[in-house]
Amino acid sequence: MTSLTTVRVTLVVALLGIAPLAPAAVLAGPLVSVQVASGRTFDGQIDPATDDTTLWLRKGTTAAALRRPIVWERVTGAEMDKCSLTREELQTLAKTVAAEPPPGDEAPRPKFYGVFAEPDPVNPSAEAPPPEYAPAQIRALAADAYLGNWDADVEPDGIAVVLRPLDRWNSVTPVSGSVEVELWAPQVRRFNEAPQGRGLTLERIGQWTVQISENDFSSSGVQIELPFQALHPAFDMQILPQGLVHVRLVAAGHGTFDASVEFLRIRTWSPLRDKLWRDTGDRFFPGERTGRGR
């Protein structure tokens, strides 16, 4: 009966043209054992993603693999083929691996499913200690802005800017540093004062510098409230209602990052208030309280 079942399975496979699955190939590369400052040892192959700040070890096959980041400063030694290596020798070896060309179609790059933590081999039931994570580095800065009103009067008081420093996985990374914000908007002039701009000039109507720290962040980023300065779009109708916000973040240990909010409404859209201004020269009704003189 067993042989008959085997024959039937073989015939079905042949008729359907299904090739038997070949086992995934083991990842190529030198196998090293790395000691870190906490006293733990990690085994794996040097991944080509290794750079000057982080050593990446990987385990698995060409079908799937796991990677572990280790900061070079935490590496105290290594061993390969029963030969001891210093951190400098391991860095030299890693540069050689990184310089190798990527594998072709016959050896596709594996899919990495994340960072792993191995259990204690002496006591497998014990909770695995935290892995040696590399510090998150900012890759880009995302910004958003909107009109804000944070007191009891009618008009908007300024702009609120939300910053999201993003790492390589697009996760918000809290940082400490300095934030410089500029608000630009067109302003109406006499035609003879700006003939090339058809009576309009582009002016910087606001400029702020704010210090932020990691404690200011939430999971959504950090929000900064910036009050309007000498020029207030709600009272100065010579300023057009659309503006542009430019943000620069200078974060120690990460670098300088720029972002822009290309279109921001800096005066609320209200046909009724616009008509009131054309008729009376005032955009607010007599019974409304405002934060500054009209």
Of 114, 132, 150, the residue that ends a domain is 132
How long is the chain? 294
Report whether pLDDT(100) > 70: no
Inside any domain, residue 220: yes
Report whether pLDDT(213) > 90: yes
- Tell me if the pTM is above 0.85: no
pLDDT of amino acid 52 = 87
Do 263 and 144 fall into the same domain? Answer: yes
Mean pLDDT across the stretch 87-107?
A: 70
Give the residue numbers spanning the domain of 176.
140-280
The neighbouring-strand residues paired with 219 are none
The burial of 149, by beta-carbon neighbours within 10 Å (0-12 exposed, 13-18 middle, 19 or more buried), is given as middle
pLDDT of amino acid 111 = 42
Tens digits of per-residue pLDDT, 172-206? 999 999 999 999 999 988 877 777 777 788 899 99
Do 208 and 231 fall into the same domain? Answer: yes
Can you give the CATH number for the domain in which 79 is found?
2.30.30.100
Inside any domain, residue 15: no
Contact (CB, 8 A) for 224 and 179: yes
Do 257 and 211 fall into the same domain? Answer: yes
Do 228 and 185 fall into the same domain? Answer: yes
Tens digits of per-residue pLDDT, 127-140? 445 554 556 789 99
Do 119 and 149 fall into the same domain? Answer: no
Inside any domain, residue 20: no
Do 114 and 168 fall into the same domain? Answer: no
Do 120 and 178 fall into the same domain? Answer: no
Do 258 and 275 fall into the same domain? Answer: yes
Inside any domain, residue 77: yes
Of 132, 151, 166, the residue that ends a domain is 132
Inside any domain, residue 64: yes
Do 99 and 118 fall into the same domain? Answer: yes
Tens digits of per-residue pLDDT, 142-183? 999 999 999 888 999 999 999 999 998 899 999 999 999 999
Do 145 and 267 fall into the same domain? Answer: yes
Number of separate domains in the chain: 2
Can you give the CATH number for the domain in which 161 is found?
2.60.40.1930
Inside any domain, residue 194: yes
Do 146 and 263 fall into the same domain? Answer: yes
Question: How many C-beta atoms lie closer than 10 Å to residue 220's C-beta?
Answer: 9
Of 82, 116, 132, the residue that ends a domain is 132
Do 255 and 195 fall into the same domain? Answer: yes
Inside any domain, residue 126: yes
Inside any domain, residue 40: yes
